[in-house]
Structure 1
Amino acid sequence: MLLENKVILVAGAAGLLGSRVVEQLLQHGAQVIATDLTRERLEQQLGQLGVDTASADISIRGLNLLDKQEVIAFFQSLGTLDGAVNCSYPRNKHYGKHFYDVDVDSFNDNVAMHLGSAFLFTQQCAAHFERQQHPLSLVNMSSIYGVVAPKFDVYDHTNMTMPVEYAAIKSAIQHISRYASAYVDNSQFRVNCVSPGGILDGQPSDFVKAYQSYTHGTGMLDSKDVVGPIVYLLSDLSNHMTGQNLILDDGFTL
């Protein structure tokens, strides 16, 4: 098993992607520390995937990534950590509006929440490595829309759009990852990103079909399709790979 006996922290573990990451990490032999806002939400979501949350291989922890002191104290409480994945997706109630309808205060709030918490998580992973001096691989989640401009026509005939906040945040996460890797400057501390294309989550059929036309046939991804690159980056197979961004999109960005 690729991650046998490795201790991996997963933030946002109750989400669509985060819960699938936890499930697959356990199958690859990892010991997982799964965190999200509440233990109850974690146990419910992971239980739906058949994850035994009472297993000795998983620890369920509540963690608010928007609370600086809580995050710092959490990382200081950890022992050996081999890897971490940040699947969190904090946003406010105004998130997702069309470009001209986005208020700058809401924009700034969403950037502070999502990008700010991603910075804090990355910073504290680096600080934990400095304290422990034990190899640590961090995987941050970006997006194809942190790489290329949106194809807005796929949103025609829907009430959806590609939020401008999302594009700004996901592109910045890639550079924060490179920054942290360069700053720590140690081969044992690696930071990489995974940038998936769209993930199926009950989107309208018109959108799914339009999106598929820009790919090589698969179209939208299932959340489990995204886990492979994450496992690879956490494993020893990717030793010496750092500051990189793996795009997983069935050709959408070509």
Structure 2
Amino acid sequence: MNNFLNNKKILIVGAGGLLGVHLVASMLKQGAKVIAADLCVDLMRERLNTLGVDLNNENLSLIYLDVISESSVKSFFSTDLKIDGAVNTTYPRNKTYGSHFFDVTLESFNENLSLHLGSMFLFTQQCAKYFTKYQTPFSLVNISSIYGVVAPKFDIYNNTKMTMPVEYAAIKSATLHLNKYTVAYVNDSRFRINCVSPGGIFDHQPEPFLEAYKSHTHGAGMLDVTEIIGSVLFLLSEQSRYVTGQNIIVDDGFSL
């Protein structure tokens, strides 16, 4: 996949997160010009530096962007940025996110849908408006999840304090259809939106969970975050020129 993104300018929002920082590093290696955006630029800079990314690379720009702020997102897209695509890796949520099903209040549920799905809608909408205005090919990749596709396997959370948040399932499944709605509405093969739906990504979860999760895969267990990168790069590249409204599941068989 050498230089799949040569000279393409790609915006990554949530670029300071676990997936975001690895995407920045990989895209720079693929020859892309990267706009890395996050709420905390200093923390993003620190994490990229830890990963070995050259912060003085002329192809890298670090900017502040708040995806839950309509004014912030609209302001960003108000000028001709000459970008070829974007990846939304953001994950906004409130302080009570992650509660067990019967402990989730309607207020908290609604707030999390507003933060995460609402910001997904806003960002997707503004990408579509940007394309409509400038009429240059554009590829957007949103991140969904296996739990946007199949019901949770709750047994893997036994012997842990973890659960699979109901808000997450609602948001990630809705993301898949939001993509289809938007590309159908724009109705132009030059504007594409696709999803990557990862299985579990290793982030130092409890050992009982890791073992239980692995038993539902074909042997890989929780994936390293770098295993997700290739699918995103493919969807941003010319290799997927007529792939649109689709969802690539990367989970070593967990959802089968």
User: 2-side partners of 1:117 and 1:123: how far apart?
Assistant: 10
Letter in 2 for 1:164: V
User: 2-side partners of 1:53 and 1:132: how far apart?
Assistant: 30
Which of 2, 5, 30 pairs up with 1:3? 5
Give the percent of matched residue pairs that are identical in Structure 1 and Structure 2: 56
Q: Please tell me whether residue 223 in structure 1 is matched to residue 225 in structure 2.
A: yes
Runs (4+) of structure 1 exceeding 4 A deviation are none
Letter in 2 for 1:222: D
User: 2-side partners of 1:4 and 1:163: how far apart?
Assistant: 39
Mapping of 1:138-149 within 5 angstroms? Answer: 138-149=140-151
| SS of the residue 1:8 aligns to | strand
Q: Deviations over 1:146-168 (max 9, x none)?
A: 00000000000000000000000
1:78 CA drift (Å): 4.4
Letter in 2 for 1:33: I
User: 2-side partners of 1:186 and 1:11: how far apart?
Assistant: 24
Unaligned runs of 5+ in 2: none
Q: Deviations over 1:11-61 (max 9, x none)?
A: 000000111111111111110000000211110111111111221111000
Alignment check: 8 A CA contact 2:193 2:244 kept: yes
Unaligned runs of 5+ in 1: none
User: 2-side partners of 1:65 and 1:78: how far apart?
Assistant: 19
Letter in 1 for 2:161: N
TM-score, normalised relative to structure 1: 0.99
TM-score, normalised relative to structure 2: 0.98
1:123 aligns with 125
Mapping of 1:1-254 within 5 angstroms? Answer: 1-254=3-256
CA RMSD of aligned residues (A): 0.7
Letter in 2 for 1:147: V
Alignment check: 8 A CA contact 2:80 2:134 kept: no
User: 2-side partners of 1:77 and 1:49: how far apart?
Assistant: 31
1:77 CA drift (Å): 3.1
Letter in 2 for 1:120: L
Letter in 1 for 2:181: Y
Number of equivalenced pairs: 254
| SS of the residue 1:35 aligns to | strand
